[in-house]
Amino acid sequence: MRVVYLHGFASGPHSSKAQFFRRKFAERGIPMEIPILDEGRFEELTITRQLAVIERAVGDQPTVLIGSSLGGYLAALYAARHESQIERLVLLAPAFQFARRWQERYPPEDWKRHGSLTIFHYGEGRERQLGYQFAMDATQYEDEPEFPQPALVLHGTRDSVVPAWISKAYASPRPNIKLVLLESGHELTDVLEPMWVQVSNFLSVPESIEIVSKPKSL
């Protein structure tokens, strides 16, 4: 099994969820790659550029995608366009209807006038500028990507960023989607172990690998 983890918006590979899953998979001998989706150029970020980063990370190997928030939306977009490469998906509070909801939160008039928006980048721990091209580029992508692969969606019932009803409405008519609702918010950091139980069962992850040390020579 090969796993690629897609972090959320203004986050990075060192997020608590990313590192939690990396550690869990590593304990079972499974590598997990976590690409930097903004490539260190947050001000130039677009959906298109992030999909290109994912393409390089996935390569031509069969892959499981795990995506958090915007990363979940990106995973769905990529899986819809690469059916033969992506085997399964795990989506954590996926940001479906992204472009529409983004414009509701950040009206384009003011943003376009100034050319950029000040965003706190949690992965870097500081404020960064994000160019207007981010909003414009996002409008070309579908709100709810259609992909045939099996997917597990985990969503918090108290999510105030991406309401849980969005995932419920998405999963309801799609038999390839398994939805699990958890008593948590958007970050899901207080339900990491329950999430791992769901993820490991869904992916049929083996038990931890026991490392047996060799006896020292006398």
Tens of pLDDT along 38-51?
Answer: 999 999 999 999 99
Domain that holds residue 67: 3-203
In a domain, 123, yes or no: yes
| Helical spans, DSSP H, in 31-156 | 47-58, 70-81, 98-105, 108-114, 133-138
In a domain, 216, yes or no: no
**Residue-level length of the chain:** 218
Look at residue 107 in the predicted model and tell me its pLDDT: 83
Kindly list the strands in the beta sheet with 32-33, ordered across the sheet, starting from the edge strand earlier in the chain.
32-33, 3-6, 63-68, 86-92, 151-156, 177-182
β 126-131/116-121 pair status: antiparallel
pLDDT tier, 217 (very low <50, low <70, confident <90, very high otherwise): very low
In a domain, 210, yes or no: no
In a domain, 213, yes or no: no
- Choose among 65, 37, 41: nearest CA to 52: 37
What percent of the chain is modeled with pLDDT above 90?
A: 87
In a domain, 215, yes or no: no
Q: What is the pLDDT of residues 127-147, one digit of tens each?
A: 999 999 999 999 999 999 999
Look at residue 213 in the predicted model and tell me its pLDDT: 46
pLDDT tier, 89 (very low <50, low <70, confident <90, very high otherwise): very high
Look at residue 210 in the predicted model and tell me its pLDDT: 56
Look at residue 16 in the predicted model and tell me its pLDDT: 95
Global pTM value: 0.94
In a domain, 125, yes or no: yes
Number of domains, the chain: 1
Average pLDDT across the chain, whole number: 94
Per DSSP, the three-state class of 126 is: strand
- Choose among 103, 98, 76: nearest CA to 88: 76
Q: What CATH number does the domain containing 56 carry?
A: 3.40.50.1820
Q: How far apart (Å, rounded) are the C-alpha atoms in residues 156 and 69?
A: 11
Look at residue 209 in the predicted model and tell me its pLDDT: 64
In a domain, 106, yes or no: yes
Query: Cα-flanking dihedrals φ and ψ of residue 145, to 5°?
Result: -60, 145
Question: Cβ contacts of residue 212 below 8 Å, gap of 6+?
Answer: none
Beta-sheet strands, E only, within the chain: 3-6, 32-33, 63-68, 86-92, 116-121, 126-131, 151-156, 177-182
In a domain, 218, yes or no: no
Look at residue 218 in the predicted model and tell me its pLDDT: 42
